[in-house]
């Protein structure tokens, strides 16, 4: 059982380039999330999805887009990368009926924009 898998693990982009981060979960979870983690600022929610075909904005959505065409996948796109988007990105998933189990996180993608 792989849980939540993020690809790639590392990436360096030039300013203005675009890229897509992929998140895949094999737990049949309904909810999926993208967070960014920066020193001293904690985890901040970028976008989230409560089901296939639905997405919503989180706390810091500007400069990002997302899609959830399949229940198990949640894609995060950077349209035109900026140095301010240098961060570690985490995907997470959770279930409506999870009880006490909280989120399951991926291992993160470290993105550097130069």
Partner 1 sequence: EDQVTQSPEALRLQEGESSSLNCSYTVSGLRGLFWYRQDPGKGPEFLFTLYSAGEEKEKERLKATLTKKESFLHITAPKPEDSATYLCAVQVVGNTDKLIFGTGTRLQVFP
Binding residues for partner 1 (CB under 8 A): 4, 31, 33, 35, 40-45, 48, 50, 58, 90, 92, 94, 96, 100-108
What SS3 state is found at 83? helix
Peptide bond into 8 cis (omega under 30): yes
Q: DSSP string covering 40-77, please?
A: TTEEEEEEEEEETTEEEE-SS-TTEEEE-SSTTEEEEE
Spatial separation of the C-alpha atoms in residues 64 and 101, rounded to whole Å: 28
Closer residue to partner 1 (CB): 11 or 17: 11
Closer residue to partner 1 (CB): 14 or 102: 102
In the complex, what is the shortest distance from the CB of residue 64 to partner 1, in angstroms, rounded to a whole number?
Answer: 16
In the complex, what is the shortest distance from the CB of residue 65 to partner 1, in angstroms, rounded to a whole number?
Answer: 19
In the complex, what is the shortest distance from the CB of residue 84 to partner 1, in angstroms, rounded to a whole number?
Answer: 19
Tokens of residue 7, six digits: 């690809």
Closer residue to partner 1 (CB): 2 or 14: 2
In the complex, what is the shortest distance from the CB of residue 8 to partner 1, in angstroms, rounded to a whole number?
Answer: 14
């Amino acid at each position: 059982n792989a849980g939540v898998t993020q690809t790639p693990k590392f990436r360096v982009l030039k300013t203005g380039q675009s890229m897509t981060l992929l998140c895949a979960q094999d737990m049949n979870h309904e909810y999926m999330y993208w967070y960014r983690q920066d020193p001293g600022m904690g985890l901040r929610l970028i976008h989230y999805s409560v089901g296939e075909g639905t997405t919503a904005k989180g706390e810091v959505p500007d400069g990002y887009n997302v899609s959830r065409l399949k229940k198990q996948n949640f894609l995060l796109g950077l349209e035109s990368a900026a140095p301010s988007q240098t961060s570690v990105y985490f995907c997470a998933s959770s279930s409506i009926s999870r009880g006490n189990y909280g989120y399951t996180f991926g291992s993160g993608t470290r993105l550097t924009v130069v």
